[in-house]
Structure 1
Amino acid sequence: MTTADRKAWRGRAVEEDAERAAAEVPDERAMLRLRARSRRLLTGLLRPHRRLLGVAVALLLLQNAAGMAGPFLVMLIIDRGIPPLAARGDATLLLALGGLFLAAAVTEYATKRGFLLLSAQIGQSVLVDLRQRVYDTFQRLSVGFHERYTSGRMVARLTSDMDSIAELFDGGIDDLVLAGLSVLSVAGILLWLDLPLALVTLLSFPFLLLLSRWFARASARAYRRGREAVALLIVYFGESLGGIRAVHAFRREPRNQEIFAGINDDNRRATLHAYRLIAIYSPAIKLIGNVTVAVVLTYGGWQVMHGRTELGVLAAFLLYLRRFFEPMQELSQFYNALQSATAALEKLAAVLDEKPSVPEPEHAYPMPPGRPPGRLTLRNVEFAYRPGQVVLPALDVDVTAGQTVALVGATGAGKSTIAKLVGRFYDPTSGTVRLDGVDLRDLTDDQLRGAVVMVTQENHIFSGTVADNIRFGRPDATDEEVRAAAATIGADDFISRLPDGYDTDVHKRGGRLSAGQRQLVAFARAFLADPAVLILDEATSSLDVPSERLVQRALRTILADRTALVIAHRLSTVEIADRVLVLDAGQVVEDGPPAELIHSGGRYAALHQQWRDSLI
């Protein structure tokens, strides 16, 4: 796979918003925004657990104090406990100091165990809340977001990114925080124990600070690239398997393997780069630590020889130095988890900051109970999917309540766009779409979805039983209501012949059903929901001739006493309409009953004649 091919595919896969900014090397200002966004998210997630966090912090401080007591007690044992025992044979002080050392060790164990249990509880609660927020956000965001944000990236947010954060909570936080506490505590104790020795130790600090600062910046960029590489792997993997039939049909496997190999290699190189940084940082810390210990041991030994420092002080000093450099050395491993989790948190925060392009109204219109009449009004509606590319220029349409209107025209004429605006998957760029005189933007999602239902060419069939899929829009529907809906649209016969009838598992995406059967289930689902406005967007195009005839008979029952917009290239479906709108470039060029338009000799008449000729 060439670099150009890889970049071309990456360009199609990467989002057009903050996700892309996070994938590239961000400038300083962008990095600050990303960090602030992720900090706000983490603060919000931790806020409900303030009391438990306070207890966890107290346990961590107690654990650190118990750990710091060990070398100090060793110093006392050497300088205060052993001399009396050697001179007088009195082991009282030695035993007392040994008991204190044991008590400190037990305290350190108990507090560490308590902190791990408590942090696990907090961590899992935070992850549950975060997963729920991300899932709720993905469901709430508008269709426009989902059309540019691939399903593979959604899966990556809920899997690999969550795993990175879980890894930090599972074992990284206590090590990171304790390492920081140890470094600060040891620095203070060293200054208190022996100022000259501490000043010698401080000579290593500039090197440590410069090295750590370099590692923090370089690893942050590396792990952002790593998260993006993993996301691309998941995206392409999901995309390939989602279209596996097309892959097999067109013998696409070799080319897919080539592309996947390139993306996989990107991931390998990103991961290796992160490990190269660790390979520099960790040994360098160890080298600085060993050099410092050698200098302190030499200088401290000389001080002991001349009676300027006690032997116990030197021993404690060396033990504290070990507690100082060991966390610094291991910090690279902990920082690995921290940077990975930080990069993941930034991406999740970017998703959670997304705003729906069709937001809920601040003050919803109080719709009366029951099914509304269903009168539709489009006034001066203009719409563009992208700036400067107008699809509907100043469209005016009135649909009487209970009327069935067919939208006809060439591909790209604006038929499906009108359907999406009526279903409020998008809002018009200008103008208004009204239901019974109420702007759709003044209705809540619950009000709108209860009043308007769309049936498309590829309605999704979910895993579960046939009955579950029919009652998808009305979970409280009884078995009798489900059967009645299926019988009305003519689906009861084929459902009854299935192995378990209405309890038959349809398998993934309805794979157990034919295309026509899946569409009949979708019709039954829409009929059971009983909307005021029903939109049929190419809803019969996937049906064979016998199934289409069956649905044609049922459509008259389904559409009775309800407003309907019917989009179809098969004019057999259009013939049941009360009215036909012929569209061209987003404008209505013909409007009238089907029979009148056929006799008028206009565009619809020509389309009708072409359709009749195709049947011969």
Structure 2
Amino acid sequence: MSTATSDTEAAEQHSDQAADWRGIAKEDDAVTGTGNLVLAGRSRRLLLDLVRPYRKQAVLTFVLILLDNATKVSMPLFIAYALDHGISAGRQGNWTPLLATVIGFVVVTLLSGLTTFAFLRASGSLSQRVLFDLRVRSFQHTQRLSVSFHEKYTSGKVVTRLTSDIEALQELLEGALNQALSAVISVVTIAALLIWLDPLLASIVLLGFVPLVLVTRWAQRRQRAGYRRTRGAISRVVVQFVESMSGMRAVQAFRREARNDEVLGLEDAKYQKATTAAVRGVGDYVGLSNFIGKLTTVTVLLVGAWQVMEGNLAIGVLAAYLLYLDQFYGPLDELAQVFNSYQSAAAALEKISGVLEEEPAVAEPERPVTLEHASGAVRMDRVAFGYNDTSVLPEFDLTIPAGQVVALVGATGAGKSTMAKLLTRFYDPTGGVITLDGVDLRDLVDAELRRHIVMITQEAYLFSGTIADNIRLGRPEATDAEVAAAAGAVGLDAFVAQLPDGYATDVRTRGGRLSAGQRQLVAFARVFLADPAVIVLDEATSSLDIPGERLVQRALETLLRDRTAVIIAHRLSTVAIADRVLVLDGGRIVEDGAPAELIAGQGRFAGLHAAWRDSLV
């Protein structure tokens, strides 16, 4: 890799990273004001949609939590009855009421344990199913999104959505949400019992509830904004970490370690600051709610004691009342703790739902056309393309007969890669039509289009697994014999024969066990096995040394035989196998002809070829 190329890639990487961070900032800005309602509604719709397939299990869980709540709130009533009736009856020699109370209390305690056990199992199973569906849906949807989405939404953000954001939701669903639901039911039930037991004392409790509601509303608004900042901050941390690890060779080659440490430290400090502020907010809320609760309890104790002394209230009722107050404010404390998880999960769910609402820029056809066997004839009729009102490819026409090999030549930014992306339908043209054997590419379903048109990138990306696994990507149902035949066709079999495990050899992460030329041959074998009608190559030999280039060049000749091919060529040695050369400049085709014809002329390609030939001397 040349220094110039590395500098360009590094610049593009940092540009993408900056755009990514700007995008996160815009997301955070979008959730203020009116956006709060929009995103909150979007998040709720997503959660309800995830739970909908498990309605019966959700109903069962709700019934179990109601039963569990009923057993718990009934316990102080047994204590009140024992104090006011059981003890006095026992003094008179009648132990039946006290014994019945004790037996009833034990039965309710056992039922409480049983319902709690059943509820936790049911809710745990439900939450795991919901989280599983969300992971699968998020991953599948992200894979379906167009290349344009992934070019602006970097891998670090995608990783954050699928890991830390889902983990935040997992924390809520696995425990916090259950606690919150149980707490709300307990508060409502106990409030009704308090009013029934003594309206005067209930009025004191409800009066203390007013400032508690106000404090809760204040904390909710504060925490929601705080946790949105934490989700954005952790996303930036993950982006920096993923990009540093992915580009480790460039990091070490250009001594970027210290600078990366500095950038990650800054972003991590922002995350720490945002998280600390959010946790402090929870502490403020818990402290205020506890103060209000204890103050109310003391007031109830004083007024209740006065009523007992006046003979207006039984001692057992006061005891039950104080026990209920503990159960009443206990769930409120739990809600304060749940509040922390809820705000974090709500912010995470907003981010996830935002990704799930993204639509592919390249849509599947509503009325697809079937193309069983393609010969490979390509036509671009009045095709134009641009980004945001900026023209990249002015309107042009191009016809490529079936079986013709066309080389695209031109300076960086001439439009070669854009033309290749249009032909492979990673983008749709902003004007005109691209056809394969007379069928508009937009009328072919994606699976059929990828069967007929395949792109080989410069990187020749290999996945973790064996050589056979990576070749079989071209046709997953291929037999071992067919895999070996494809490898042999491109000259890979001699190398594989030297490996101890042959085709079962693990290529390691991103094909790290293989050289660049060997990875390219695996990619060629993969395409040979797929047997497409049209092949698009994005400079397949630019990163290879001379021996590697010659090896790949021979394989390329085999691969392209009797197929339509479009080759983006930076090395003019690649052009030798082309039937036709297109020279691009500023998105326009300025020269079109056979290689020998253009070399013999006085045009741009002749000048490029002469300069390349001189460089070899």
- TM-score scaled to structure 2, two decimals? 0.96
Give ranges in structure 1 of 5+ residues lacking alignment: 1-6
Amino acid at match of 2:501: D
- Classify the secondary structure of the residue corresponding to 2:383: strand
In structure 2, C-alpha distance between the alignment counterparts of 1:232 and 1:43, rounded to whole Å = 29
Q: 1:69: how far off?
A: 0.3
8 A contact 2:434–2:440 mirrored in 1: yes
Q: Distance in 1 between matches of 2:576 and 2:539?
A: 14
Alignment partner, residue 318 of structure 2: 314
Supply the AA of the counterpart residue of 1:14: W
- Map of 1:508 onto structure 2: 509
Instruction: Decide which of 199, 203, 207 is 1:199's aligned counterpart.
Output: 203
Of residues 291, 294, 297, the one that matches 2:295 is 291
| Equivalent residues of 1:519, 1:543 under 8 A apart | no
Residue 379 of structure 1 corresponds to: 381
User: 2:577 is paired with a residue of what secondary structure?
Assistant: coil
Q: In the TM superposition, what is the alpha-carbon distance from 1:576 to its structure 2 partner?
A: 1.3
* Cross-structure match for 2:464: 463
Aligned-residue offset at 1:567:
1.0
Matched, 1:227 2:231: yes
Contact 2:17 2:239 in 1 (8 A): no
For 1:105 and 1:61, locate their aligned partners in 2 and report how far apart those are by CA, in whole Å. Answer: 15
Cα separation, 2, equivalents of 1:26 and 1:530 = 48
Give CA-to-partner distance per residue, 1:120-179, whole Å, 9 cap, x none: 111111111111101101110000111111111111111111211211222112210011
Q: Structure 1 residue 431: deviation in Å?
A: 1.1
Q: Deviations 1:371-422 (Å, cap 9, x if unpaired)?
A: x0111111111111x2132110102111111111111111111111110000
- Change beyond 3 A, Cα 1:148–1:507: same
Q: Offset at 1:532? A: 0.3
Matched ranges for 1:485-500 at <5 A: 485-500=486-501
Question: Which position in structure 2 is the counterpart of 1:270?
Answer: 274
* Distance in 1 of aligned mates of 2:204 and 2:585: 84
Correspondence 1:40 to 2:42: no
Q: Distance in 2 between matches of 1:395 and 1:562?
A: 24
Amino acid at match of 2:528: F
Give the counterpart letter for 1:358 in structure 2: V
Confirm or deny: 8 A CA contact 2:394 2:587 kept in the other structure: yes
C-alpha spacing 1:21/1:328, structure 2 compared with 1 (3 Å): farther
Shift of 1:192: 0.9
Residue 556 of structure 1: CA displacement?
2.5
What is the match of residue 4 of structure 1? none
- Contact 1:283–1:329 (Cα < 8 Å) also in 2: no
* Alignment check: 8 A CA contact 1:25 1:221 kept: no
User: Secondary structure in 2 aligned to 1:536?
Assistant: strand
Per-residue displacement from partner, 1:479-519 (whole Å, max 9, x unpaired)? 22112212211222222222322211111111111111111
- The residue number in structure 2 matching 1:3 is none
- Which residue pairs with 1:416 in the alignment? 417
Comparing 481-490 and 355-364, the one that deviates more: 481-490
1:144 aligns with 2:148: yes
Show the counterpart of 2:85.
Answer: 80
1:409-448 equivalence runs, <5 A: 409-448=410-449
Say if 1:152 and 1:231, in contact at 8 Å, map to a contact too.
yes
Deviation at 1:13, TM superposition (A): 2.8
Which one of 113, 118, 125 corresponds to residue 122 of structure 2? 118
Deviation track 1:559-584 (CA, whole Å, cap 9, x = no partner) reads 12111001111111112111111111
Amino acid of the residue matched to residue 379 of structure 1? D
In the aligned structure 2, how far is the partner of 1:207 from the partner of 1:8? 50
Q: 1:248-263 to 2 correspondence within 5 Å?
A: 248-263=252-267
Shift of the alpha carbon at 1:294? Answer: 0.8
**What does residue 91 of structure 1 align with?**
95
Conserved 8 A contact 1:15-1:149: no
Q: Residues of 2 paired with 1:12 and 1:586: CA distance? A: 25
Q: Give the Cα–Cα distance (whole angstroms) in 2 for the partners of residues 327 and 495 of structure 1.
A: 65
Matches within 5 A, 1:211-226: 211-226=215-230
Query: Displacement of 1:27 after TM fit?
Result: 2.3
Q: 1:53 maps to which residue? A: 58
Q: What is the aligned partner in structure 2 of residue 70 from structure 1?
A: 75
Post-superposition Cα deviations, 1:532-557, rounded to whole Å, max 9, x if no partner, equal: 00011111112221222222223222
Residues in 2 aligned to 1:390 and 1:459: alpha-carbon distance in whole angstroms: 30
Residue aligned with 2:482, SS: helix
Kindly indicate whether the alpha-carbon contact (under 8 Å) linking 1:10 and 1:232 is maintained by their aligned counterparts in 2: no
The answer to whether the Cα contact below 8 Å between 2:86 and 2:101 also exists between their aligned partners in 1 is yes
Secondary structure, counterpart of 1:575 in structure 2: helix
From 176, 183, 188, the equivalent of 1:184 is 188
Residue 282 of structure 1, CA deviation: 0.6
1:482 corresponds to: 483
Cα separation, 2, equivalents of 1:607 and 1:166: 59
Q: In 2, are the aligned partners of 1:142 and 1:356 still within 8 Å (CA)?
A: yes
Q: Does the CA-based 8 Å contact 1:520-1:551 persist in structure 2?
A: yes
Residue 6 (structure 2) aligns with: none
1:344-375: per-residue Cα shift (whole Å, max 9, x none)? 111111111110000111110122x23x0111
Alignment deviations for residues 583-613 of structure 1 (CA, whole Å, 9 cap, x no partner): 1111111111111111121111111111111
Q: Does 1:14 align with 2:21?
A: yes
Contact 1:24–1:225 (CA<8 Å) still a contact in 2?
no
- In the alignment of these two chains, the number of paired residues is 604
Indicate the residue corresponding to 2:551 in structure 1. Answer: 550
Contact 1:22 1:224 in 2 (8 A): no
Instruction: Measure, in 2, the Cα distance between the counterparts of 1:256 and 1:320.
Output: 56
State the Cα distance separating 1:10 from its structure 2 match: 7.4
SS in 1 for 2:379: strand
The CA distance in 2 between the partners of 1:535 and 1:598, in whole Å, is 24
Contact 2:520 2:552 in 1 (8 A): no
What is the Cα-based RMSD across aligned positions, in Å? 1.5
Give 1:327 shift.
Answer: 1.2
Of the structure 1 ranges 502-511 and 542-551, higher mean CA displacement relative to structure 2 is found in 542-551
> d(CA) in 2 for partners of 1:8 and 1:185?
57
AA at the equivalent of 1:375:
A
Q: 2: distance between equivalents of 1:570 and 1:542? A: 10
| SS of the residue 2:456 aligns to | strand
Task: Check whether the contact 1:15–1:148 (CA below 8 A) recurs between aligned residues.
Answer: no
The letter for the 1-side match of 2:391 is V
What is the distance in 1 between the residues matched to 2:103 and 2:27? Answer: 54
User: What secondary structure sits across from 1:379 in the alignment?
Assistant: strand
Q: Contact between 2:521 and 2:555, CA under 8 Å: does it hold in 1?
A: no
Residue 579 of structure 1 contacts residue 593 of structure 1 at CA under 8 Å; is this kept in 2?
Answer: yes
Q: Secondary structure at the match of 1:204?
A: helix
1-structure distance, mates of 2:116, 2:334 = 18
Contact 1:282–1:330 (CA<8 Å) still a contact in 2? no
Residue 121 of structure 2 aligns with an amino acid whose one-letter code is: L
SS at match of 2:59: helix
Deviation at 1:251, TM superposition (A): 1.3
Q: Distance in 1 between matches of 2:583 and 2:411?
A: 9
C-alpha distance in 1 between matches for 2:17 and 2:97: 70
Aligned-residue offset at 1:20: 4.3
Task: Indicate how the Cα distance of structure 1 residues 330 and 8 shifts in structure 2: closer, same or farther if over 3 A, else same.
Answer: farther
How far apart, CA to CA, are the structure 2 residues paired with 1:419 and 1:593?
Answer: 20
Aligned equivalents of 2:533, 2:20: Cα separation in 1: 38
In structure 2, relative to structure 1, the CA distance for the partners of 1:483 and 1:45 (3 Å cut) is same
